[in-house]
Structures are given as structure tokens and as C-alpha cells.
A and B are shown apart, each in its own frame.
Chain A
Amino acid sequence: MGADGSGAVADSGIYLYAVTSEAGEACLKLRGVLDAPVRKISRGDLAAYVSTVPLDQFGEEPLGHLLEDLDWVGGVARAHHRVVESVAEAGPTAPVRLVTVYSGEEQVRELLARRHDDFLAVLSRVAGRREWGVKAYVDPESASHAGVGGPAERETSRGQRAARPGTAYLQRRKANLRSREDLWRHAVACAERLHAALGEIAVAGRRHRPQDPQLSGRKEWMVLNGAYLVDEERSAEFAAAVMAFREAAAGAGPGTEADAGDGAGVGELGRVMGMDVSMDIELTGPWAPYSFTAVELETGGREGGAR
């Protein structure tokens, strides 16, 4: 794995963070991965933001091990993100996937030249727009207490008295599973309505797979993990829409509890907006347009067009 074709044994590489149009001038007092200073490499009307990294960490082999170390990855990810974000503040930016390391600046210039049109297309797509993240969570525990799948639960409690403990347990378990399924279906439908509504304001939207609880730090079901590309002029409108949904969904919930809670207030609002499951909706951003620059650039090097 070590040898790489190039004769010289280099001990450092060029870490690429993002590509922008030359016009943007990000603050370059920035520190990148491993606290190295970030610099700008220009070619034509494009610019790349890079820093030097040691190959004893960023070579292919050490990297393979280090990437198993979540602390190390976390540090690199934060540094990467920090650079991308501040570059994105200055102008349209195409963030590059974490850990993209070139052997020299010349290679980076070459990349800018060869993929010039692709980068320009990406940059024009995101110019004047920001990415927002919207996540929706449903708490299966509290929701099932709130009586989702009500008839099933009532049935169980009736059966419970008659049946023997073992049977009752199984029945309870079955009903519980059924109500969880119900809840899941309802919640997914709500999430889709929310996604569609936000799409009316955004110029593009993506639904990403839900995050692992270890990443989200939350045990609830994540039923929406959306990313939205929004014109800067409509950012406030977008945030307000999320806020409205958040309020509508906070007190919503099938069954009687929501009605009992706030009278005609929140529960009603939830129904009007199609939020019939109690959800916690979270807005993050604005982000650099990570989700809308997900293009694969095959520069056709060593694979020899195998794919």
C-alpha cells in the first residue's frame, strides 16, 4: 500500500477542504487540520483552500487505523468543518469530502483546471443559498403512553385480567409492538408532510438517513433528517415555517391526551398542519451546502476507467 508510484518520498501532503470561486476571499488567519495554517491555491477563476498535513497520519495506511479512532476523527472533522464554514461565509463554496489529500500543490491546480466546468456548475447551483438542516424526533415511549393504537391497548388491559400472567405478557407485548408500528407509520407520514412543506420554500431538499443515537445524542426515533437548500432572502421565511411546524407538532398527538392538554389550542393547530403525531422538530444551520454538492468527480487516474 505504501508505495504510490512517485519516486520521491514525501512526508507531507496537501489536504483539500473546499473549492470556491476565486472572487471570494475568506479570512486566512484560519487554522485547519492539526492546527496547520490554511492557504489558498488559485487557478483561473477557481480557488482551493488547503493546508499541509503529515503523511505519518494522513498517509493511506496510518489513516486506516486512525479513522477507527472517533476522537481523532472528531478533531479532524471539526477542523475541516471550521475551514469549510468560514470559506462558505465569503462566497459560494463546494466542500470536499473529509480527508482528501494530494501529494502536491501542482496536483491541486491540475484538478481545478481539469474539473473547472464541474466545479463551476456546482458553485453556481449553491450561490446565494444556504443549507439548513431539519430533524424530527418521535419519542416512542411517551407516545405509546399517550395511547397510540388506543383500541389495541384497551383490548390488552381487558384481556389482561382474564388471561394468565404469561399470556397477558405476550398480549401486552404484541399490542405494544403493534402500537409502535402504528406510531412509526404515522410519524413517517408527518415527516413527509413536513418535508414537502419545507420544499415549497427551499430550492432543493434531501432526506438523509436518520442518524445513529450515538451521533444525535438522542434516543428517540429520528423520522426526518432533511437538508434544504434555501435562497438567502428566504432564510427567515424558512426558519419561521420550521418554527410553526415545531409548535404544531409539539403538542400534537393522536388519542385523547393532546385534546385534553390544551383544549382547542395546539392539538387543533397540529391537525391543521397535518402533524398528528407529537414530534420534536429541530432546525440547524445555516450550513455550507454540504448536501447539495454531493457530486462524484472521477478524474480518471489509476483506475483506468474500471468503473
Chain B
Amino acid sequence: MTDPGRSRPVLRESYAQPMLGGRESSNLGDILERVLDRGVVIAGDIRVNLLDIELLTIKLRLLIASVDTARELGIDWWEHDPWLTGKNRELTDENRRLRDRLAAIEERLDERQGLPMRVPEQRPREVERRAERREAVRREADVRGGNMRGAERHEADGRGWEWRGG
């Protein structure tokens, strides 16, 4: 007990164990939560990354995301939101990007041809509006404490203290 900060076993025995009531200190749930959801995420030039296959493992991620608690609070929007169920999200993003680029190119073309500026198409805006709505839903869900992706975003941006549900 000379240096409780460093010597893990001492800490585990003297503090952690009695509080856990005899249960194993590192249960699989705690471990899964940490290794799947936290830590350094490296994207880009590696061969395989959980990010790449995240879409396939939505089941697993939902398990981590505490489905029951969320449902109890009425947060089951992901079940109805095709945007969240896999590749659709990528497609939507890509769609938006392509439309933006198309609009920009058309604009430039029009300018070059000396034609009056085109009224921008409705579609890109509509997509954006939908994204905003989703954002709002997510924020709402976030505030209520059970959110999956919103929480992730918080973790990624937030350093230090963050308050949810206030």
C-alpha cells in the first residue's frame, strides 16, 4: 500500500473488489464497450479497420448502444431510419456530394456562357434539410441519454467535461 496509484493489484483488492460484490472486475461488457467504442481510431491507409466494417456490424453496435434503455425512453428512431441501416448513409452522403459538385459545375458553366445564374435545384437542399432534421433528432435523442451516434460524436469532439441530459 505504499504507492496505491501505481500498484494495481493493491487497488483492485482494497477498493474495487468490495464494490463489485464478488463479480469479476473486468466483465466482458465493460471490455467490449471500451475496445469497440473508444481508443484511437485510425482511418485511411490500413488494411482493415473496424470503421470499414462498421456497417456490417450494426447488430453488435446496437448491443453496445444499450438498445433497451433507449427503447424504454422512446428512442428507437434508428429502427425506422434507413439512413442508419448500413450503406444507405454512405450513399446519401455521396449523393449529396455529387449533387453539390454538379451544382457547382453547372454554375460555373452558366457563368462562362454568360447566361443568367440558374436557380439551384431543389434536390440538394432537400437532402440537406433532411440531414438537418436527422441532426435534430439525434441531438434530441442525445439529450435523453441513449444515443449511439450522437454520443460517439460527443466523445470524438469533446475533451474534458461534457454534459448530457442537462
Contacts and interface: CB of A to CB of B under 8 A. Distances in A.
Given A63-B53, A243-B15, A300 B35 contact: no
B47 interface: yes
Contact of A297 (B31, B40, B47): B40
Contacts of A42: none
Contact of B26 (A81, A119, A243, A283): A81
A228 to B, nearest CB: 11
Chain A, interface SS category: mixed
Contacts of B19: 242-243, 246, 281-283
B35 A98 contact: yes
Contacts of A287: 34
Contacts of B166: 192
A230 B26 CA distance: 18
A4 interface: yes
Contact of A63 (B30, B42, B48, B163): B48
B60 A70 contact: yes
A171 B80 CA distance: 31
B23 to A, nearest CB: 8
A222 B45 contact: no
Contacts of A95: 34-35, 38-40
A228 B44 CA distance: 30
A208 interface: yes
Interface string B31-71: 11111111111111111111111001101100111111100
Contact of B145 (A74, A77, A188, A284): A188
A155 B49 CA distance: 57
Interface in A38-59: 58-59
A212 B8 contact: no
A27 to B, nearest CB: 13
Contacts of B160: 204-205
Contacts of A68: 56-57, 59-60
B116 interface: no
Chain B, interface residues (CB within 8 Å), range: 35 or more
A120 interface: no
A213 B70 CA distance: 11
Interface stretch (A101-109, A159-167, A269-277): A101-109
B22 interface: no
B11 interface: yes
Interface stretch (A144-152, A232-240, A255-263): A232-240
Contacts of B33: 208, 211, 215
A176 interface: no
B16 interface: yes
A36 interface: no
B166 to A, nearest CB: 7
Contacts of A70: 60, 63
A77 B43 contact: no
Contacts of A294: 38-41, 155-156
Interface string B58-96: 011001111111001000000000000000000000000
Nearest to A64: B56
A89 B6 CA distance: 8
B17 to A, nearest CB: 10
Interface of A: 4, 13, 16, 19, 58-60, 63-65, 67-68, 70, 73-74, 77-78, 80-81, 84, 89, 94-103, 107, 111, 115, 119, 122, 130, 133, 188, 192, 199, 204-217, 221-222, 231-236, 239-240, 242-243, 246, 281-287, 290-291, 293-303, 306
Interface of B: 4-6, 8, 11, 15-16, 19-20, 25-53, 56-57, 59-60, 63-69, 72, 97, 145-148, 151, 155-156, 158-166
9 contacts: A19-B40, A97-B50, A98-B36, A100-B42, A107-B47, A122-B40, A209-B65, A214-B29, A231-B5
Given A67-B57, A78-B28, A239-B15, 7 more contacts: A58-B48, A60-B52, A60-B53, A232-B6, A243-B19, A291-B155, A296-B43
Question: Top 9 closest A-B pairs, CB basis?
Answer: A232-B5, A301-B45, A215-B29, A299-B44, A239-B15, A301-B44, A64-B56, A95-B39, A290-B34
